[in-house]
Amino acid sequence: MRQVLLIEDEANIAEALRFILSRDGWEVSVVADGALALAEVARLRPDLVILDSMLPGMSGLEILTALRADPLHQALPILMLTAKGQLRDREAAERAGVSAFMSKPFDNSEIRALVRELLGA
Amino acid sequence: MPFNVLVLTCLAYVAFLFVVAFVVERRASRGEMRFLRSPVVYTLSLSIYCTAWTFYGAVGSAARTGLEFLTIYLGPTLVFVGWWWVLRKLVRIGRRQRVTSIADLISSRYGKSNLLGVLVTVIAVVAATPYIALQLQSVTLSFSVFAQTTPETWVMPDRDATAIWVAAGLALFTILFGTRNLDAKEQHHGIVMAIAVEAVVKLVALLAVGIFVVWGLGGGPVAMIERIEAYTDPNWAIQPGRWAGLIFLSAAAVITLPRMFQVLVVESVDEAHLSRASWAFPAYLFAMSLFILPIAVIGLDRMPSGTNPDMMVLTLPLQEGQGALALLAFLGGFSSATSMVIVETIALATMVSNHILMPAWLWLRPQAALSGNLRGAILLARRLSIIMVLALGLEYFRLSGGSAALAAIGQIAFAGMAQVLPAMLGGIFWRGGTKLGATLGLSIGFATWGFTLFLPSFGAGAAISAEVLQNGLFGLHWLRPQALFGSDGMDPLIHSIFWSLALNIAGYAAGSLLSFPDPVERIQGAAFVNAFDDELQAERLGWTHGQAEPEALMNMAQRIIGDEAAISFFEAEARAQGKAGFLPDLTPSFLAGLERNLAGSVGAATAHAMISQLFGRATVTVEDLMAVATEAAQIMEYSARLEEKQGELSRTARQLREVNEKLTQLSVQKDAFLSQISHELRTPMTSIRAFSEILAEGDLPKARVAEYGQIIHTEARRLTRLLDDLLDLSVLENGAVQLNLTLSHLGQMIDRALAVSSQTRPERTFDIRRDYPSEEIYLRTDADRLVQVFINLISNARKYCASDAPVLRISVRQKGGRVVVDFIDNGAGIAKDAQGLIFEKFARLSDDGRAGGAGLGLAICREIMANLGGTVTYLPGQRGAAFRVTLPLRMDKLVMEKQDAEKLR
């Protein structure tokens, strides 16, 4: 079963994503604190990371940069979510090597399709 | 020898001198100075050292005391050969400082002290007056010698009348050529040339008489030497003390006598001439002294006893029937006398008019100095001084009766002027010399000289009573004029020189050591003592000795007025001179033009100083320096103004930068705010949308439907609250809030706030500590708004206080017309660096999304308190989180003012 790590501090959003993605057959883990995210990635070795941009402890962009700096995670699909919806954030994320980018709020079917695509299913 | 031939020859000779002086003046005024720039002319002009005293008196002196006359030539010879570097320094300083006389030198060195100028002038006039009288006497005597031997009926006018005619003629000549124009440097080219001609005449005359004596009367050199050796006279024994004293005296005289200083320093056109003079002048003196002894010996031998030996140069040829030779000798003596009187008179007149007449006149009529027409006044003063000096000499001659031997008068004058020596040499070699020292030394020396030599020279009972001469001043034995402090048995001249100079030097040294020089003195002291230092610098800078190359001037001009302007100016000047290229000849008109040109950039004084330095005119005076300093001050003031303006500009620029920064910051804040709002709105909407889509699918278990429905509800409320807060904040920030003022009980308001905020994390039990009596206060304020602030603060405590046994202390104080309410919990408090941020919008500290607020609470509190005329602040240093609310007891007035302001709008 493919593993999805969801890094999201908003409990309700995390619950919604967990629900729809597990229903699609993905194994979903949630971490709410940015500071713990890198350790979780190392521990779980997920097949996909869904990353919120505004996190306590460590921002989404920082986590993304740190992951891409590690040769182990250079090919890891990372989907970034943001509620700020500014072009600038999107460009910064793309420069940092994000695999896909999506604004909140999202369409459930859209994110499910994107996750499927990123997991190569 | 007919007397009228003598008079005619004499007049013709004078006319010839007039023509020489006139032609030279004419050419000099047209800038044709080449032949004047000759070391020969300079050396010959120095020969005014040899006056009638030397011409006639040396033979007299030799006849009386043998070789002693030589001392008068040895002193100057030693100075010129051995101490020429002292002369060079004097000449350098004289040219640099535009010194006009020895009085000016001393006054200038010691801080431009006119007192010193007056003192030196008085010494010079007192010492020189007998000397001038002496010259008049010698001319008169020589006339009378001729008159006696004239067989014709021509009767020699009386002695006084002759002297008056001679003095009048000399006054006329001196005024004509000495005051023709006013040169700042007091140079008189016509007179210098005339005295150079006279120098040749007197040398030729003396040599001619000498040759006639040796070969015509003495039978050749060998026989002559035998005759001299055969001659014995007890008076001819050498007195070593007198020799040393006289050599020293004449050495001092050659630099201190006013006329010597005039030709040596003031009239010097080129310092380099000194090197020629350093051997040529001693050679001249040697030639002058060569035949003195033969003439004296032959004269004593052949002339009837009782003949005045002072006139032997004249009487010997006359007696031998050599009329033409006698005429030549007469012209030689006449030349010696007139050249000395003319130059001495000019030198003294310069001093008298510059240091006495002009200051007095300007003191009496200060407004005249401003009128600008000083030229006439100065010329008049100069002419009056000339007449005065000559009149003094004439008067002395008439009073003294012409009795004293020529040489003695000369020695008295030498000793008088030697008093200037300590102040002069000290001034150019010792920076420590001060005005007080110079004044003291000069005064004491002058007084001692007067008392011990000058006054007694009139004879016992004339100026000093025989009683004083015998028993001392005030009957004090040690104050006898010719035996001071019990020094009996000394030669009167040596006695006077010794005591006057010893006391002079002691006074100078003591006064200098005990006083401190003022600034001008220090500047001048440095300029005099270090006269050669700037030359070293000039050489380092590549400037040639005294003469500037056009390239150097060009270089300087380029630096000052810029390349293009300098080149075009030089090119134009060269073209005007008919030269190709851009290096014109350094004509006076070109230099004047260049100076004017530079003056436009650096100021006149600086330009003058620069050109002078480069061109070796070396005439930078203290006034120049002061003027330069003034210009520099103006430039500095100007640049200070510029700086001020620049300061203003940079202040404006800084303000603009600050405003710009603020705007940028505001823009960033606005972006951040929008970004925040977007985040805060989108976050609940994300949940709502996601769960509503899930619910819409309709195949969920009931429990899930309820759960997800509840989430949608919570998030919708969160969204609403956020919008409320934003709206609230917007209203509060714009000041458009409507306050509902009532009289409310503070305790009850706190009760209400506690009740509402207990819904925040209701699971926590909080220990609320209150002091109810202190809450018994009625406030006139908007109760709902104040309660809103309280709720916020209490809720925050409930949310964030991490203590296991949370305590919230609410304390109330009244302070003046204000109420202070503190909310202090026992949590960890707020980090110091965050304390300044918490009242900003969305300044939620880190991970409190779960706490449910949008981070607007404290921002709203701050706005509310501002509207209520109070404040809410964080209280640092209270262990837990601590907030202080301060507000007025009554806020009617404020509200009324606000409403009035709104009505006006």
Which of residues 636 through 695 in chain B touch A, CB cutoff 8 A?
Answer: 671, 675-676, 678-679, 682-683, 685-691, 693-694
Please state the domain extents for chain A. 3-118
Using CB atoms, which residue from A85, A107, A108 is nearest to B682? A85
Neighbours of B881 (CB within 10 A): 23
Helix, strand, coil percentages for chain B (3-state, nearest 5) = 70, 5, 25
Residues of B within 8 A of A19 (CB-CB) are 694
Whether A104 sits inside 8 A of B714 (CB atoms) is no
Given CB atoms, is B878 within the 8 Å cutoff of chain A? no
Encode pLDDT of B164-221 as tens digits: 877 888 888 788 777 765 554 567 788 888 888 888 988 898 888 888 888 888 778 8
Model pLDDT, residue B255: 87
Q: Six-digit token pair at B236?
A: 């001819």
Given CB atoms, is A35 within the 8 Å cutoff of chain B? no
User: Within a 13 Å sphere around the CA of B845, how many CA atoms are in the beta-carbon half?
Assistant: 15
Here the ipTM equals 0.93
Report the helix count and the strand count for chain B, using DSSP H and E: 38, 9
Which of residues 712 through 731 in chain B touch A, CB cutoff 8 A?
Answer: 714-715
Using CB atoms, which residue from A56, A57, A104 is nearest to B686? A104
What single-letter amino acid sits at B888?
P
Whether A105 sits inside 8 A of B682 (CB atoms) is yes
- Compute chain B's Rg from CA coordinates: 52
Q: Six-digit token pair at B877?
A: 């240093």
> Which helix (H) or strand (E) element contains residue B470?
helix B466-471
Helix, strand or coil, per DSSP, at residue B271: coil
Q: CA of A80: how far to CAs of A109, B684, B720, B806, in Å? A: 16, 18, 27, 39
User: Within a 13 Å sphere around the CA of B720, how many CA atoms are in the beta-carbon half?
Assistant: 6
Contact yes or no for B880/B829 (Cβ under 8 A): yes
Q: Three-state SS across B816-870?
A: CCEEEEEEEECCCCCCHHHHCCCCCCCCCCCCHHHHCCCCCHHHHHHHHHHHCCC
Contact yes or no for A101/A80 (Cβ under 8 A): yes
- Weakly modelled stretches of chain B, pLDDT under 50: 153-154, 184, 536-547, 617-620, 622, 847-851
**B766 φ/ψ angles, rounded to the nearest 5 degrees:** -110, 135
- Compute chain A's Rg from CA coordinates: 13
Q: CA of B347: how far to CAs of B47, B81, B262, B447, B716, in Å? A: 16, 25, 6, 23, 115
What single-letter amino acid sits at B314?
L
Model pLDDT, residue B852: 52
Model pLDDT, residue B790: 93
Q: Three-state SS across B176-221?
A: HHHCCCCCCCCCCHHHHHHHHHHHHHHHHHHHHHHHHHHHHHCCHH
CA pair distance A110, A105, nearest whole angstrom: 11
Model pLDDT, residue B545: 38
CA pair distance B479, B499, nearest whole angstrom: 12
CA pair distance B110, B427, nearest whole angstrom: 8
Given CB atoms, is B710 within the 8 Å cutoff of chain A? no
Mean pLDDT of A55-81: 89
Smallest CA-to-CA distance from B393 within B99, B160, B633, B678 is with B160
Contacts 24+ apart (CB under 8 A), B236-242: B236/B65, B236/B66, B236/B67, B237/B66, B238/B66, B238/B67, B238/B68, B239/B68, B239/B491, B241/B490, B241/B491, B241/B494, B242/B68, B242/B71, B242/B491, B242/B493, B242/B494
Residue in chain A lying closest to B714 (CA): A12
Smallest CA-to-CA distance from B456 within B424, B479, B426 is with B479
Q: Six-digit token pair at B764?
A: 């926590």
Residues of B within 8 A of A12 (CB-CB) are 687, 691, 711, 714-715
Residues of A within 8 A of B676 (CB-CB) are 84
Q: Six-digit token pair at B171?
A: 């006054």
Neighbours of B182 (CB within 10 A): 12
Residues of A within 8 A of B715 (CB-CB) are 12
CA pair distance B339, B350, nearest whole angstrom: 17
Residue in chain A lying closest to B683 (CA): A83
Whether A107 sits inside 8 A of B675 (CB atoms) is no
| Residue A85 to chain B, least CA–CA distance (Å) | 7
Mutate to test the interface with B, among A8, A13, A24 (most CBs of B within 10 A): A13
Encode pLDDT of B562-610 as tens digits: 777 788 888 888 888 877 777 777 776 777 777 777 766 665 556 666 6
Q: Six-digit token pair at B624?
A: 């120049």
Q: Three-state SS across chain A?
A: CCEEEEECCCHHHHHHHHHHHHHCCCEEEEECCHHHHHHHHHHHCCCEEEEECCCCCCCHHHHHHHHHHCHHHCCCCEEEEECCCCHHHHHHHHHCCCCEEEECCCCHHHHHHHHHHHCCC
Q: CA of B2: how far to CAs of A96, B151, B318, B323, in Å? A: 130, 8, 12, 9
DSSP state of B618: -
Whether B711 sits inside 8 A of A106 (CB atoms) is no
What single-letter amino acid sits at B378?
I
Residue in chain A lying closest to B849 (CA): A10
Q: CA of B774: how far to CAs of B89, B829, B881, in Å? A: 97, 25, 22
For the cut 90, the answer to whether the pLDDT of residue A17 exceeds it is: yes
**CB burial class (10 A; 0-12, 13-18, 19+) of residue B104?**
buried
Contacts of B575 (CB under 8 A, 6+ apart): none
CA pair distance B297, B214, nearest whole angstrom: 10
Whether A12 sits inside 8 A of B850 (CB atoms) is no
**CB burial class (10 A; 0-12, 13-18, 19+) of residue B904?**
exposed
Question: DSSP string covering B573-589, please?
Answer: HHHHTT-STT-----HH
Model pLDDT, residue B688: 92
Domains of chain B: 3-433+517-521 (1.20.1730.10), 651-718 (1.10.287), 736-904 (3.30.565.10)
Q: CA of B664: how far to CAs of A87, B647, B661, B667, B715, in Å? A: 19, 25, 5, 5, 34
Helical packing angle, B588-602 and B604-615, nearest 10°: 140
Angle among Cα B108, B110, B113 to the nearest 5 degrees reads 70
Residues of A within 8 A of B688 (CB-CB) are 105
For chains A and B, CB pairs below 8 A equal 68
Encode pLDDT of B285-314 as tens digits: 898 888 888 888 888 877 777 777 778 888
Model pLDDT, residue B262: 85
CA pair distance B752, B769, nearest whole angstrom: 15
Distance of CA A44 to the CA centre of its chain: 14
> Which helix (H) or strand (E) element contains residue B810?
strand B807-815
What single-letter amino acid sits at B24?
V
| Residue B843 to chain A, least CA–CA distance (Å) | 13
Q: Six-digit token pair at B53?
A: 């005293």
Question: DSSP string covering B627-688, please?
Answer: HHHHHHHHHHHHHHHHHHHHHHHHHHHHHHHHHHHHHHHHHHHHHHHHHHHHHHHHHHHHHH
Model pLDDT, residue B151: 53
Question: DSSP string covering B507-552, please?
Answer: HHHHHHHHS---HHHHHHHHHHHTTTHHHHHHHHTT--SS---HHH
Contact yes or no for B283/B77 (Cβ under 8 A): no
Whether B683 sits inside 8 A of A10 (CB atoms) is yes
Mutate to test the interface with B, among A52, A80, A103, A108 (most CBs of B within 10 A): A108
Smallest CA-to-CA distance from B281 within B46, B538, B555, B93 is with B46
Q: What is the CATH number of domain A3-118?
A: 3.40.50.2300
